[in-house]
Amino acid sequence: MDVYFRARIEGSSRTWPVRSWKQVSEAYLRAIQACGLACPTPACHILDEAGQVFAFVSLSGRVFEGSGGPMSGMKLGTRCLFDPLNPRS
């Protein structure tokens, strides 16, 4: 599968390939668990081919449209692209 999107953790210049919404959701949740409650949770942004943020992963592992992040709040009507509790959504 060709990779069109990349994920970047806030505060890092490194990016990782996004092969699926499920994959990036699970990877972000593992990173949060490894960090524990002792550290602030950085945002996980999804970048398009031009390097622009167009989606983000929430603390629950849901992937949403937009350039928000876990602590920025979301606008009413923000579309959920992936929900790990309901993968067919």
pLDDT at 82: 92
Cβ pair 61, 25 in contact under 8 A: yes
Residue 87 lies in a domain: no
Residue 77 lies in a domain: yes
CA distances from 63 to 10, 38 (A): 16, 24
**pLDDT, tens digit (0-9, with 9 covering 90-100), for 16-30:** 999 999 999 998 888
51: phi > 0 → left, psi -120 to 50 → alpha, else beta; which? left
pLDDT at 11: 78
Range of the domain at 69: 5-82
Q: How far is 38 from 74, CA to CA, in rounded Å?
A: 25
Residue 73 lies in a domain: yes
pLDDT at 23: 92
Whole-structure pTM value = 0.79
- pLDDT (mean) for 5-18: 87
Residue 17 lies in a domain: yes
Total domains present in the chain: 1
